[in-house]
Amino acid sequence: MFSLKNKISIITGGGSGIGKSIALLFSKQESTVHILDLEGNTQAVVDNINASGGKSFFHKCDIAKQEEVKAVIESILAPGKNIDILVNNAGIAHIGTVETTSDEDLVRLFNVNVKGMYNCMHEVIPSMKKTGGVVLNLASVASSVGIPDRFAYSMTKGAVIGMTLSVAKDYLGFNIRCNAISPARVHTPFVDGYLQKNFPGKEQEMFEKLSRTQPIGRMGKPDEVAHLALYLCSDEASFITGCDYLVDGGFVKLNN
């Protein structure tokens, strides 16, 4: 079950965190994985996959720039090739209210979290229309509930849900499915960097405090999101489209 053999996947932001876990798992399930990311540790992820017998490629790409996305997608679409899976994982965060969020910050988040997803779907879906495919967008619990000091981030993640529903509706007749995953706090290098920057000397204390905001009592693990991503992108989920799945330890429904 959940085989991705002979399927070509594109994963944005696959160099670390949730994206890295998705890339590793999809490769294990025999998908050819193309990672679109900035430098970071992405090449090391690709080397790890290839050394383990998988097939993966790194494409340096700023997804906020449509011309870069277009060039990368065209390079992947060699004669006789189609893109079967697009995972829009790349995203950035921001802390602030509507008053403390600058115009520059708002535009920066919009360009990556919203326009970046649009750019990738705009270039990939024409190929998918020929043979069908799956789009999976990473949203957030911030799409569903109010979270303090996350004005710009919540705005962009709410837009992800709107884009997901729109694409799912528009391409039903082309056998293209589109779903979203909304994680709560997941322990990634981003979380560690955030704690080191904002709470020097109190990292462990704040880590435990943030973990307790989820009823299950801990942060999620990237692999736990990746496992759901695999299901939603596999043929076993062929009857599922236009849905948003919470992976949140009870954060949305059980917090009183």
The predicted structure's pLDDT at residue 137: 98
Q: How confident is the model at residue 130 (pLDDT cuts 50, 70, 90)?
A: very high
Question: What's the chain's average pLDDT?
Answer: 96
Low-confidence winner among 9-23, 72-86, 145-159, 213-227 (lowest mean pLDDT) = 72-86
What is the distance between the alpha carbons of residues 47 and 55, in angstroms, rounded to a whole number?
9
pLDDT tens readout for residues 169-189? 999 999 999 999 999 999 998
Could you tell me whether strands 133-138 and 85-88 are parallel, antiparallel, or unpaired per DSSP bridges? Answer: parallel
The 10s digit of each residue's pLDDT in 35-47 is 999 988 999 999 9
Q: How many CB atoms lie within 10 A of CB 79?
A: 4
For residue 78, pLDDT over 90 is answered with no
Residues belonging to the active site:
153
Written as one letter, the residue type at 224 is E
Q: Is 40 exposed, middle or buried (0-12, 13-18, 19+ CB in 10 A)?
A: middle
The model scores a pTM over 0.75? yes
Q: Which domains, from first to last, does the chain contain?
A: 8-184+222-246 (3.40.50.720), 188-219 (no CATH)
pLDDT at position 95 is 92
